[in-house]
Amino acid sequence: MIHKNLWLTIIVTLFGCQQAGQPPIALAQEPVTCSYEVVQTYPHDQNAFTQGLIFDQGELYESTGLEGKSSVRKVDLETGKVLQISKLDDRYFGEGMTLWQDRLIQLTWVSKKGLVYDKETLKQIATFSYPTQGWGITHNHQQLIMSDGSNTLYFLNPDTFKETKRIKVTENERPLDKLNELEFVNGEIWANIWMSDRIARIDPETGVVTGWIDLSGIIDPASLTTQDAVLNGIAYDPESDRLLVTGKLWPKLFEIKPICD
């Protein structure tokens, strides 16, 4: 009995010392919500059903959707004028788009077909297939990252377009779905959430939402003509550190600066 009590005392003592010597266990932090400052406002084609937005070295590229109206276009930022355009076949509903090296890579919605264009000419040069719907696409300088409207993000080899891995996106351990347009910003995946005024900031390793950019009030609702005119379109140029946002059928495009204080 003495030996039993002695061992119990030692175990309790050791356990207590170990607990005392350890730092407190970090609880999952609530995602930080940032506001925004509008740096500049630009005109935007209100007939453009924006699905993807790219800003590269001062050049703006846009993917638009809707059957019979889908396109890839190069746009003058200052005036909103379309400088070049490549229209999709009527069977395709254009979705998200990203720039990989000298190629524009565009998704289509339910056709399970991706389209590849020469950046300079906007001439289609290749196609590829995927097994899901296509919503948004970006890249992390190594792999393409694609959304399909669920809470799953797919990582693809940019040369073969084969899936290499996937992650589930969660907020406070709950699935976050309706992931739409994507952009890779300073090591994070930023995602429009369909029918939401917020942009999710996602850890690309874990899928955990670490923060939000709340863009409520950025557009005057009176300037919008349909309930489908929702926030969609994020473009970031790391060289100039400029961030652009717009929406489907919006008359304006905004350069913004997140305010996270």
What pLDDT score does 226 carry? 96
pLDDT at 209 over 50: yes
pLDDT reported for residue 11: 37
CATH 2.120.10.30 for domain 29-259: yes
Separation in Å, CA 31 to CA 57, 192, 236: 31, 16, 21
In whole angstroms, what separates CA 136 from the centre of its chain?
7
Q: In a 3-state reduction of DSSP, which class is residue 32?
A: strand
Give the list of residues 6+ apart from residue 76 with CB closer than 8 angstroms, or none: 60, 82, 83
Average pLDDT over residues 234-241: 95
Rounded to two decimals, the pTM is 0.88
Please give the share of the chain, as a percent, with pLDDT higher than 90.
87
pLDDT tier at 177, thresholds 50, 70, 90: very high
pLDDT of residue 261: 78
Q: What is the rounded CA–CA span in Å between residue 246 and residue 230?
A: 9
Write the CB contacts of 214 (distance below 8 Å, at least 6 apart in sequence): 33, 34, 35, 36, 197, 198
Task: Please report, rounded to a whole number, the percentage of residues in the chain having pLDDT higher than 70.
Answer: 89
Residue of 237, 197, 250 whose CA lies nearest to 60: 237
Q: How far apart are CA 85 and CA 72, in angstroms?
A: 6
Q: Which of 44, 120, 46 is nearest to 79 (CA)?
A: 44
How far apart CA 204 and CA 187 sit, in angstroms, is: 8
pLDDT in tens, 24-34: 433 457 899 99
HEC assignment per residue over 78-109: CCCCEEEEEECCCCCCEEEEEEECCEEEEEEC
**pLDDT surpasses 70 at 18:** no
**Beta-carbon count within 10 A of 238 CB:** 11
Listed range (12-26, 128-142, 159-173) with the worst mean pLDDT: 12-26
Pairing of β 82-87 and β 94-100: unpaired
